[in-house]
Structures are given as C-alpha cells and as structure tokens.
Structure 1
C-alpha cells in the first residue's frame, strides 16, 4: 500500500511537468512566430494611431460638434444632445480632454473590429446549429474568463503597447455582438421568411433585405453591450500601456490620489453614458420605424 502514499507526489510532479511543457511550448512559439504576428497586426496599429491622431489633434470645437451631430442623428432627442454637451464641457473643464479622446478612439476601433468579426460569426451561428454548438462554449469561456487573464498571452506574443491592449479589449467585448446577432436573426418571424421565399428571394437577398433589417434593433443592442464592455476593459488595458483615462486611474490607485481617480472614473462613466444613451436611442428609433413599416 506504500504506492498510495506516493501517488499525490507523482501527481504533483506530472502536473508541474505539464505546466512547464505548455509554458515552454508557448515561449518557443512566441520566439518563432512573434515577429510575424506583430507584422500582421501593423495595419490595425496604423488604423488605431490614425483614429487617435484624429481625435487628439482635431480642435476640440470640431470634435464636440461632430459628437453632438452624431448624437442628434442617432437619437433626434435634444435632451440626449444636451447631456452630451454638458458631459464634454465638464471633461474639458477638468483637463481630461486628451485622455478622453484617446479612450474614445480605442473604443471606436475596438467596437468597429468587434462588429466586423462578430456580425459574420453571429450570422453563421443563426444559419447553422452545428456552428452554434461549437461557438457557444467558446463564448462562455470568453465571458467568464477574468479580464486580467486575457493580457497574459497577448503580452507574451506582442509585448506591451496599444495593439496588445486593443486585442484584449476586442476579445473581452466581442461575445455580446456575436450572441445578439445570432439571437436577432433567429427571432425573425418565420411567416415573413416564407413570404420572402414565395417571392423568389435567394438566400443572400433574404439575409440582406429581410433578416438583417428586422434583426437590426437586437444587433444594435449587441453593439451597445460591446461598447459598455470595452469601456469596462479600459482600466485593465492601461496596465499594458494603453493610453487614456485608465492610466490616471491606475496612477491614482498606486499613489492614493483620491481626486485624480474619482475625476477620471467619472469621465469614463460620462463617456459610457453618452455611448449608451445614443446607441439605445438609435435602437429604439429603428424599432419604431420597423413597427410602422410592418404594422
């Protein structure tokens, strides 16, 4: 029976050996392909730098008018536009404009990339139960994994900087876009689809002209949730060099600067409220428009 007493020790050694093998394999992979992977993400880095340059170097009145114009077009609500104006003026008054614009550019690029990736994946999930069964567990892992864990493989592959932070934000914010695209397309009334088939619509025509327009309010809810999750990742991404409102918050935590942390935290909340109200208002307008058309 002595072998039983050795079993835990043997198990610990095998587990340690497995962990070391995985770590060594990942280091070898990083050393062999890290430069190629970094080169592949160069276009994304240029896009992010261009967006950040536009937001930070454009005179603030033009940026403010642009934001207010987008808020008006999306919501057609003067209360939403006025709330955006007050929020932006307060951010400027408390000298957080540059950091806020860097954060907005990061959120814009990460949301756009999440839409580009998430929309096709959500469509494939809606079209195929087999794809859905494969993708659903992956999304479950992505949504339950602690946000700090995303930084480990990204930093090992790409180092510290804006692009690794952007990739971590995209991974964290992507699941709602995929799930709600899938849900919106699946909830389209079957009678409408049968009518489209009766008129001789092809699969592509049915998707583009029927399913996506009717699913658009749900898809916009996915965009809204993606933006909120991207904003929630801002402070975490600041740990690996992402500039913006997250870095002053980390500095405030490290040095116990109460006002610095509170003001920058409130700026993040203000940006979140702007994105949330504008996207929600646009989704409600789409819903009302579709109810009128199909009512």
Structure 2
C-alpha cells in the first residue's frame, strides 16, 4: 500500500478472548494446541510461544454463550514455521482432541478445530513466498483443496509449538461487509489482498496473503457483547513513527482514539476493540 497505509512489516499481535473456565481453557491450549508458556495473573492468562504472545484469556464465569446472531471471531490462526511443526500439531489434535477440518490453500496448509468454549482455531504453515501463485490483479491465489495428510504422518504429539510460532492472521465474522472493510482498509490502512463474491474479503500489509479476513457467511447481525469469545485483537507496527502515523490517520478520519501504555486503541465495527502497538 502507499505511504499512508500500514508498513509492510506489520503483523498481527495477541487475540483476547473472554472465557468461562480459565483452568480448562489453559489446559486445552497447553495440551492440544501445544502452547509452551502460560503467564497467569489473577483472572488472566497470556499464552506464549517463545517471546511471542498469541492469546490472552480473561476469565468471566458469568459470561453467556455467544448468541448465534452476534459478530465476533471466525477463527484465530496460529502460524507455525514449517511442515514438521504442522505435523506435530496434527498429532496432538488427533491424540487429545478432534479435528474439525484440514485444507490446502495453495499458499498455506491448515488444520481447523475449536476450543472447549467454541472459539475457532486454525493452525497453519505457509509455503515459501516464491511458491505462491498470483491472479491477474497481482493478488495471492488462495484455494481450498483437501490437505495431503500422508505428508504429515510423522508428527510427535509430545512436541510443543516452536518458539518461532506467531499469530498469522485473524478471521472475523461481521454483521456487514462494507463498513468493516471501510474501517480496516480506509481507516486502519490494510490493503485488500482478496475479495470474494460470497461475502468475504482478505486484507493484508506487505503483500501477505492475509493478516485479517472478514466474512458475513453466517448472517451475524448484532455486535459483540459481554458474552464469551473475542473482545479484542492487536495489530503490531514496526516502530513508534508508524504507530504515530496510525493514530493520526484515525483522528484525521474522525475515529475516536484512546492512547494507553504506548498503544492506540479504537473500537471497530461490531464493537470489537483493536489495539495497535509498536514492535517491542
């Protein structure tokens, strides 16, 4: 994107989920997902791979199940560095949980499951960028074909996520595509990396296949409330100058901005909190 968009080094940061049972959720993410490090403080737990925070869990025993009408998380996508780590993830899921799906997306290979409170999870690995294919508009081609499990049969269920693991993308269910796309592209500064006639768009920085996806596939019509599930996610920019530019862009476009702890916090469509911070 041009100078007024997000820098190409932009990446996704931590996703925050409101949960009923913190102990159960922490055990699931340790045992099934393979998160090696959990920092707990009171009613919160931060799940890490190496120094990278992937998910924050906030306990709220009184929170109700997400209504079928409510916008929110479609899935959070944990990106592992190679096929060996994806094979290990498959072995853990097969041994300890249940696999909901698996796909070859051309640019990536992905496993799908849900946690005990119904939050969607993708665990995936990217193929090298030189192997990606592009359409006539220069956008990364993302297909959906069956995953070749025979290439992933040598995994070790006892091996945790590698330190190089991060949160590759976040996929949201929105109540309306146009306002969400306008916010994340025009206000925040992502570029459109893929658009689909069936009610979805992929958004990215730096030519990635997608850092953020939005869809209206399930007819969500109400905002995120105080129920279980997604409350916030982070976008990480490379430095303080880039963060200042994001804040100025929001203010110029009339978006209410809250600054806290060196970050910029805004409310996106559907009541989702987006926190933009600089790389540490």
Q: Which of the pair has more CA radius of gyration? A: 1
Q: Which has the higher strand share?
A: 2
TM-score of the aligned structures, taking structure 1 as reference length: 0.25
Bigger relative CO (Cα 8 Å, ≥ 6 apart): 2
| Larger helix share, 1 or 2 | 1
TM-score, scaled to structure 2: 0.26
